[in-house]
Structure 1
């Protein structure tokens, strides 16, 4: 209202709701004023702002305000120049046309949408972010996230519309891994250096030969180290002479990493509580003592009676623990 005192308040509110952000609404209103005639009746007098109420701090708005002021100072205000060349998605959002994404509720052209088998539509940007999060958690179940409760999985034909080649490759690997684990195959072994797996029925076989063309490692089935025959695993362990720097680096790695006490998959914690959930098998464990737990009862919490555990639920700095270890 301060920027455009002659534009009626209902029209200002309408533009702000359409554009969602102050900067976009500012230039949209400027464009409205340039129309002949404008899409509203100009007020005869300027609005008087009462200034009642406490000023609220909003860093996002302040950044937009500074950006708008800079644009107005550097060059004459013109919406097309200030906003540069807007994409089809931005045009749809401003004009209120297109199809609404079921996640971010912005409007997009139909060719930028991904749909589940029940025709719920989501923009490619939301789907990429959503899929990246799931695959990062080793979860290939990319299902519909519509608010109606639909849980249908997206077909691979739709996933190929927005996932990059690397993301698709990761999706296939994670999916295959979960299917193999669900099959519960006996004598199934995995290469220590990649995700190749195979069944070895011969108990007398000492070596694991990876048939992944990008790996090809030959390792000992017992200690998982590279092939050391005819030496035994014990002899190899005794023969390992590492320099001081290498020993320190391995000690630092062990301090930074944890292994799931159930599936032995490694993970790292950057911050947060000491109740950990394995990203692979979802087993609960304690970050301090590294043991399997069932819930929060394991931890010593303020005000809790009868628990003599030395493991605390939360600590202010994980870096301090890592440095001490």
Structure 2
């Protein structure tokens, strides 16, 4: 049986494993007993005040996590799990230096394709290791394992431990895989047949076994979390499961209370005969839901204000309804043809905040007003492709405001300037002749106009080359760098229209690698089976089934079953079909690697196309297959006349050559 270890380690189930030359740190190898809620810790956590304080990290664990942050800053293109596995393979106080030296000398053999996909957003932020990628304390690991063992009783503990090790003992991330495995077990099949049990959703927080709905009085219920005995795990589960439910319930309660209050207010106003008629829709409502225009005092209800602003932003009412100079809403009253009044901005804000997405609509209104002001200025603008920020392009400034000056530091520029001065009378005569010919031929553009236009474009190209293509957004909420040519995020070294393709190829390779990866729960070594049977033996001695990830070596929760774990009915060697006489794993069963890789590739491509908002072209699909990026198009400029290899130079090439030679 052949294994392709992601860390360069391979083993066969019949070969003797070599002696492990490096021991795992004591902080990672301890296996304490399960922790239980203390006497002062509540059994159910309703709000954040009930959460117990998280104990500080032990010194050895804090040191390991600090080393992870240092390596992530030095090697930002490597996934964090590589560092964790290497720290588990080295021991001693100089582990950080040993791991860094090993990565510098032979990074490819350690990484084995586990490169980090760049965010590709152009941000310059401090490198921070995600919390789920950090080393976990033994108490946290034991609490996660106990929780998973109790929830997924249909799976063996070795299978659960293997899945948790694949996800760095992150319960929320590993639960999806555990749910998928448990849905294939015989216990779930029987319960679904006789008890009509539905498949469990890993992301359904309302039906999670740890979420308990407790009565809060007056017929209402609130979600609470069963304590797991570990403060860190309780806080993580509370933020992911209970907090979103509580926030949704609070928002729904506020909406219902507002509707009830408005209904009661309307009923009381109707009894008192104090309803007011809207001058736009002629419906009656209470005084609190009205505003008035600033000129004639037309009373307009908030509903008409909301509809008018929404129609102006998303429909055809922009020119009719919005005053672009003041940014206010014109009076929408029916008798307001001669009314010059408008709805004040503070009343617009009050009306829109009563709508569910009113704040977003107001933000769109402000953006459109800003765009309208920029367009009316007729200035050359540079826009950030990721937000609404825009600034004046200084490349189009007049020549008098720039630092352009003639080049007098070499003989070539002096000779060219002398030739231009000497040929100026001939050039002037040619311009007059071309103008006369254009007048006789009724042409709108003369040779002089074409020459002036070409010189201006060449000057802009030269300024662009001197400035560069990198554009830094100055919006405090964005601050992303982009390319002025391809409008993509700027990544050093930037190649237009290829950074996204390289990111796509990296995403596809990573998704295909993660789809077939297995992790040893004892030493955290990652590996992939390339050939052979499904009985795998790690270099540390741990034996597991590749299909169900169960421990079959007697080191976990079961005896040393070995090959007895697999189907013992007679079948030809290599027969991957399921047995019709038993439900044991097939020794030669394959999980249809081609299908798994195909689905992983399609999912990565789908996410990429959703981000880029476009489909893959034929050249881009060829790049994914061959790995050869397309060459960027040749740029005009200096030396363009020499690069054409016999082709006649264009007027643009001539202008580029003249400006690059004459100007500094």
Normalising by structure 2, we get a TM-score of: 0.23
| Structure 1 or 2: more helix by fraction | 2
Larger Rg: 2
Normalising by structure 1, we get a TM-score of: 0.44
